[in-house]
Structure 1
Amino acid sequence: MIRRHELSDAEWELIRPLLPRPVLGRPRLDDRTVLNGIVWKFRTGIAWRDVPERYGSWTSLHTRFHRWAADGTFDRMLQAAQAKADAAGDIEWLVSVDSTIIRRCPRPPAGGRCPKRGRRSPALGRPKGGLTSRTHLACHGTGRPLAFVLTGGNTNDCTQFTTVMDAIRVPRIGPGRPLIRPDHVIDDKGYSSKAIRTWLRGRGIAHTIPERADQIRNRVRRGRLGGRSPAFDPETYRRRNISDKRPVCPT
């Protein structure tokens, strides 16, 4: 029986060949059980130690998660899912970029030592709220992820826009170059800058980004020298924020 938040048979068949083969040694917890536990943990947002016992020891899930993250297993899973979606015509190239803050865990998980204790991650910053990371995510028209970048929490959104956009590479099943250029970009006022608009125009990418109030005031103050306001379609802008999934701290 497949419970809520668990992988379907079709999803498992897509992912199974991408998992690293176990090394010789004592039998370990089944990979599908582990993946179901990892998915359940992140979909519910609970702590590792609170994952139901049916998925095995939480320390095993925690260790396997970090191992697969480090060796690129999750990256391969994302690429395989993107390639399958592209082949089915399920990727809409109306792209949004946004970011969210992830707070660092204040203490190690109960019953064990935090594997990152004593080490400072390069994706940690110290804004007013304490040590945090920031996930910069690009997703397509139905809210599915295309690319992401991790930085310290004190990094401004707009400074990572081009980095996230350059990270978009949707592989194809069979011949053909990866898809890297969206048809249209929708973003909020935090990405309203001359540099970003120039970057998008230089690549022939249409965009819908509202101006900030201070930019409007400066343009009006300069009169004819201020130029025309950028084109903005409120109907298109309503399609932003289709998905609002907030990441949680993996440790």
Structure 2
Amino acid sequence: MGKRNPQPWLVGDELWSRIEPLLPSSPDGQRRPGRKKALEDRKVLCGILFVLYTGIQWEWLPGELGFGSGMSCWRRLRDWNNAGVWQRLHEVLLDELRATDRLDMSRAVIDSSHVRALKGGPKTGRSPVDRGRPGSKHHVICDATGIPLAVTLTGGNRNDVTQLMPLLDAIPSIRGKRGRPRRRPKEVYADRGYDHDCYRRQVRAKGIKPVIARRGTEHGSGLGTKRWVVEQTIALLHWFGRLRIRWEARDDIHEAFLKIACSLICWRRLQPTLR
């Protein structure tokens, strides 16, 4: 087993080669007289990842790291998210995972997790598991091995089942092999929180078999041996310090961090094939 990278926020050449083509071009030659040259995109990205990994507040980003100010990194994160960079990066890495036979779409697994939202904002609500404090939910769908396929953000008071269809719809068209892109898993596994027959019918209408635990039934169905992978994926997402608690009042900034984290989990899965 290799040693853990003590500075995982530093972007290596291989990862940068995937990200750089996705970034919107900068308007070279249009700087105003007297203004400083914009910091290199790669250094700014390292600053964004430093905040994601450590959970540090933007204004506390150490200047000696050379990643620019926290506000500069925040603006670039916002602009790149608006340009769809993080979603496209996730799709690029999913394509590579499929091309290397590391993606298993024989089934997908879905679950959610609560996080506190200390500053409130859109997509928050009174959390039933945190004494009614403001909270949000991370809803995740992954493949049979735990690779994240899509993630959504809602208020902490939203019922899990309301995100079943949005998550299935959010799975991108995954290329990487000849023929038609793959978008639908053969089956979708979920716990009792998704036990509604009307949603089962909607899942079947998409050509997907729903395997959802029934309320009031005893344990022993064997579903847990398939569903544990999504719990592992959620644990990996919350390993990033910035995702354990929602600090952003703006939901789009928190969603940007979620998409970057999904991409980084996919990137780690690719590493054995790149050595």
TM over 0.5: yes
- The residue number in structure 2 matching 1:172 is 175
Question: Match of 1:20, SS?
Answer: coil
What is the number of equivalent residue pairs in this alignment?
225
Residue 32 in 1 paired to residue 42 in 2? yes
In 1: Cα distance, 2:193 partner to 2:10 partner: 36
Q: 1:249 aligns with which of 235, 240, 246?
A: 246
Superposed CA deviations along residues 18-58 of structure 1, whole A, max 9, x for unmatched, are 01111232421111111122122212223223333312211
- The residue number in structure 2 matching 1:110 is none
Gaps of 5+ in 1: 108-119, 218-230
For the pair shown, the structure with the greater C-alpha radius of gyration is 1
**Alpha carbons of structure 1 residues 92 and 250: separation in structure 2 relative to 1, 3 Å:** farther
- The residue number in structure 2 matching 1:124 is 124
The letter of the residue matching 1:236 is K
Question: Greater share of helix residues, 1 or 2?
Answer: 2
Question: Match of 2:56, SS?
Answer: coil
**Alpha carbons of structure 1 residues 237 and 176: separation in structure 2 relative to 1, 3 Å:** same
In 2: Cα distance, 1:28 partner to 1:52 partner: 18
- The residue number in structure 1 matching 2:111 is 98
In 1: Cα distance, 2:171 partner to 2:159 partner: 20
Q: TM-score when scaled to structure 1?
A: 0.76
Q: 2:79 aligns with which of 67, 89, 93?
A: 67
Task: Report sequence identity in percent.
Answer: 31
Specify which structure has the bigger relative contact order, considering alpha-carbon pairs within 8 angstroms and separated by 6 or more residues.
2
Question: Match of 2:175, SS?
Answer: coil
Gaps of 5+ in 2: 249-275
**Alpha carbons of structure 1 residues 9 and 197: separation in structure 2 relative to 1, 3 Å:** same
**Alpha carbons of structure 1 residues 199 and 41: separation in structure 2 relative to 1, 3 Å:** same
Question: Match of 2:154, SS?
Answer: strand
1:1-251 pair list within 5 angstroms: 3-23=7-27, 24-25=30-31, 26-53=36-63, 54=65, 55-93=67-105, 94-106=107-119, 121=122, 123-127=123-127, 129-173=132-176, 176-213=179-216, 216=217, 232-243=222-233, 244=235, 245-246=237-238, 247=243, 248-249=245-246, 251=248
In 2: Cα distance, 1:9 partner to 1:22 partner: 20
* Shift in Å, 1:208: 3.8
**Alpha carbons of structure 1 residues 131 and 82: separation in structure 2 relative to 1, 3 Å:** same
In 2: Cα distance, 1:35 partner to 1:126 partner: 33
The letter of the residue matching 2:8 is R
Superposed CA deviations along residues 79-112 of structure 1, whole A, max 9, x for unmatched, are 11112222222212232212233433439xxxxx
